[in-house]
Structures are given as C-alpha cells and as structure tokens.
Amino acid sequence: MVRQERVRCVMPLPHRGFYGAFALALLLASAPLAHQARAADEASAFIVQLGQQATATMTNRALSSADRVQRFGVIVDQDFDVPKIAQFVLGRYWQTATSTERGDFTTVFRDYMIQIYSDNFANYRSDTFRVIDQRATSDTTTAIRTAITEIVTGQPMAIEWRVMKKPEGYKVYDLNVGGVSLALAQQQEFVAAIQRNGGRVSILIKMVRSKLTQMETAQQ
C-alpha cells in the first residue's frame, strides 16, 4: 500500500521590502490630502481675520464715513485679487480692450468694489463672524463658507469665500452670497452694458466712474 502524503501549499511571506514599499505608497497617497487640509485651515484663518477686520472697520462709528471707506480700501488691496477679478468681469472684452483701457478699468473697478463691499460689511456684526465649512477645491484654491449676523434683523447670513494661495499669500477672488457668485453677476452686468454700447469698454469705464461719483456724493 502506497502511503499518500498530504502536501501543503504554503504561500511565501512577502519580503520586508514589500512592507516598506506599501507604507511608502500609503504615505504618498495621503500627502496631497494632508496638504490640502492644512491649506484649507490656513485659508480659513485668513478669512476669519479678514472678515472680522472688515466688519469692525465698517461698523466703527468713531470714524468718519470717508475714513471707514479708506481703511476698507487698504483691506481690499491687501486681501483681494483685484486684477484677477477685474479681468474676469470684463469677460471676452478683456482681450479686445487696449492696455490703457485694461488699466483704467482695473483702477475704477477697484474703487467700485470698495464702495459696494464696504456698504455690505457695514450691515453685519463683527463679533458674530465664524467659519461653518471649508473645502479644498484644488491644490491652490479653497471654498470657505461663513456666517455672520445682520445688525438690523439679527438673522445670520451665509457667505462663501473663494480663496487662492499665491506666492504673496492668500487672496480672495470671489464671494458667493445666497448662491450667487458676485464676480459672475458683475460680469453679466458689465458685459451687457458693453454690448449695449457697441462693444466699447471705454463707455463702461465712464459709466462706472459716474456711478462712483453718485455713491460718493450720497455718503457725504
């Protein structure tokens, strides 16, 4: 009688190098996520400081109206990417505008932004500004949803900030209020105005300057 031996098939254990490679792969896969999380936290801290500073400035009744707007302009110059926003709101007409028109529009749009945004921030309480949510939308951009309480109604208002990390620091390139992108809304308004005036950017610049004069007169 032939004796049959049971043969066991034993899978060889992975070499120690396998575990090292596996751990390295996990580390490399998680590195972008960790980087985005850190970037989102830094962007949120930037927005909290910006929001509190902006609302505190615009609700400081110890300052004159002109001083409040002037100080808010410093915040805009420091923390908003005005050239990028100006280029976006001109849409396709940025390409057809002359270099002089581009420069003139960026300057007048900066002043227009300051007037519009400063009026809005004057309606909120700085001590209620807080971050609700944050999410990295790319390696360099973050969307940060905040809430702040209106002074008159006492109701919270949700504002989403779109922030980009640039070599010189974080910059705001759009605000989303009530589900509406302010940059996109301004683009639609300005492009429509250019179209009504034969595609001339120079006419839009004159219109924005006239609007600014009216707003500044109303504040006096």
DSSP per-residue codes, the chain: -PPPPPPP-PPPPPPHHHHHHHHHHHHHHHHHHHHHHHHHHHHHHHHHHHHHHHHHHHT-TTS-HHHHHHHHHHHHHHHB-HHHHHHHHHTTHHHHS-HHHHHHHHHHHHHHHHHHHHHHHTTB-GGG-EEEEEEESSSSEEEEEEEEEBTTT--EEEEEEEEEEETTEEEEEEEEETTEEHHHHHHHHHHHHHHHTTT-HHHHHHHHHHHHHHHHHHH-
Residue with tokens 């004069």: 213
Residues in contact with 131: Cβ distance below 8 Å, sequence separation at least 6, in sequence order:
44, 47, 48, 144, 145, 146
Average pLDDT, the chain: 86
Which domains, from first to last, does the chain contain?
64-219 (3.10.450.710)
Output the pLDDT for position 216: 81
Output the pLDDT for position 19: 52
Output the pLDDT for position 217: 81
Structure confidence at residue 163 as a pLDDT band (50, 70, 90): very high
Output the pLDDT for position 178: 83
- Tens digit of pLDDT for each residue in 25-49? 545 554 455 555 666 788 999 999 9
Q: Give the rounded percent of residues in the chain with a pLDDT score beyond 90.
A: 66
Nearest in space to 153 (alpha carbons), one of 173, 130, 123, 176: 123
Comparing 192 with 16, which gets the higher pLDDT? 192
Residue with tokens 């980087």: 35
pTM equals: 0.80
Residue with tokens 């308004």: 189
Residues in contact with 143: Cβ distance below 8 Å, sequence separation at least 6, in sequence order:
134, 135, 137, 160, 161, 162, 163
